[in-house]
Amino acid sequence: MKRLLSLLLMVVAVSMAGLAENYPYRSDYLWVTVPDHDDWLYRAGEKARVEVQLYKYGIPQDATVNYEIADDMLAADRKGEVVMKHGRAVIDMGTRNTPGFRDLRLSAVVDGKKYVHHVKVGFSVDEIRPFTREPADFIDFWNRNIEDMRAVPLSYTKEKAEEYCTDKIDCYLLKIRLNKQNQSVYAYLFYPKNAQKGSCPVVLCPPGAGIKTIKEPLRHKYYAENGFIRMEMEIHGLDPRLPKETFDDITKAFNGRENGYLYNGLQDPDRYYMKRVYLSLIRCLDLLTALPEWDGRNLIVQGGSQGGALAIVAAGLDRRVTQCIVNHPALSDMAAYSAGRTGGYPHFNKVDGMFTDRNMRTMAYYDVVNFARHVTADVYMTWGYNDNTCPPTTSYAVWNTFTCPKEALITPINEHWTSDDTEYRQMEWVLKKLR
């Protein structure tokens, strides 16, 4: 326990640099939660206890803490309060008798202001299995649609993006045609300077959720600096050079809770918005493997959240993929809420009437757990327990479905984020796995 507390306090120090989201940047108040198992994991039926601490300016606060306890992402089934002594209290979270996570949700009013925090602990997590089942014609459905897409010859435009070129990297903006309807996606393509024919592994990086520009194109420039060709793509066919105000207006008009792209066409698997998104992944992989600089062996996909989901989709659909790097995948076990279980982003339970038979049928064709069953690439996956966007329950549902070679980095304290150091180490992992 002392070792874990030291680790948590070290994370607090990092947060002062603005890197950790669990602890507010430059806040006077600090929560610390310490489960009585160092790894935050228990067997089903085993009781969990959490020591809760609250500090102001580093000084313990004897506040009254209200708490709720719930299954991951679901409504609370227990409530109570404790009074801290010397800034500390212990809360008995009880247990659960089935595999999954429990969430301890905390709040305290100090100096007239409410402060909140939470911590999740897992029970028999290696036994978590998805609710979602694979349609009998799942592979046939996707093979047919890939074949139809490939009936349209691969074509794209390529323009030098001088603003993202460096002394080590050349960057180009691509517009890639997808289908007979002339729909397209845009992507930035990063090359090592003076890349030679047949010398470069290639990496496809799909985006996180939303309608937005390609965020920070140079954030992962170290891939190209280490000999990779890396493609940073978007999925909506919108030029990433458009002003932020334009993306904001499009989001307000076409990506609200009940009219967002992740809801669009959900009644029919052939009309669902994400169909062309998933197919665009294959189109981009076809482009990357057609580059003369590709080394002919290493085809890598990497992403987080929605991007992590799309990385798994690409690896599940295309056996050419050799390595798959995933952070907290979205779009996983989405229909589980219909059975009173924890489901994945985009949390369709937040909109009434979503779990119709037709909608759930479509969800199954697009759910990441069904693609995970078909991945043969080496997988490196990371996720945190305090994540309320892509909850740990659904990350384990994906992880436990993989039958391919796999390695995990589990960061219990993390919410919906990964550090720059973690992402750099993922590139180092890929370097070790190159064929």
Query: What contacts 19, CB < 8 A, 6 or more positions away?
Result: 419, 420
> Do residues 97 and 44 make contact, with C-beta atoms less than 8 angstroms apart?
yes
Residue 57 Cα distances to 13, 106, 254, angstroms: 13, 19, 44
**For residues 431 and 228, what is the distance between their CA atoms, to the nearest angstrom?**
10
Clarify whether 295 is annotated catalytic. Answer: no
Residue with tokens 């009074």: 83
**For residues 423 and 410, what is the distance between their CA atoms, to the nearest angstrom?**
13
Local structure of 270: helix, strand or coil: coil
Length of the chain: 435
> Do residues 217 and 164 make contact, with C-beta atoms less than 8 angstroms apart?
yes
Peptide bond into 346 cis (omega under 30): yes
Clarify whether 140 is annotated catalytic. Answer: no
> Do residues 385 and 412 make contact, with C-beta atoms less than 8 angstroms apart?
yes
Q: What's at 240, amino acid-wise?
A: P
For residue 53, the cross-strand partners are 32, 88
Local structure of 185: helix, strand or coil: strand
Please give the distance of CA 199 from its chain centroid, rounded to a whole number.
Answer: 30
Clarify whether 37 is annotated catalytic. Answer: no
- Candidate list 220, 378, 387, 395, residue with the active-site label: 387
- Candidate list 15, 305, 332, 395, residue with the active-site label: 305
> Do residues 189 and 171 make contact, with C-beta atoms less than 8 angstroms apart?
yes
**For residues 17 and 26, what is the distance between their CA atoms, to the nearest angstrom?**
9
> Do residues 380 and 409 make contact, with C-beta atoms less than 8 angstroms apart?
yes
| Beta pairing class for 156-160 and 184-192 | unpaired
Torsion of CA 244, 214, 262, 411, to 10 degrees: -120
Which of 107, 116, 70 has the alpha carbon at shortest distance from 391? Answer: 70
Query: Looking at the annotation, which residues are catalytic?
Result: 305, 387, 416
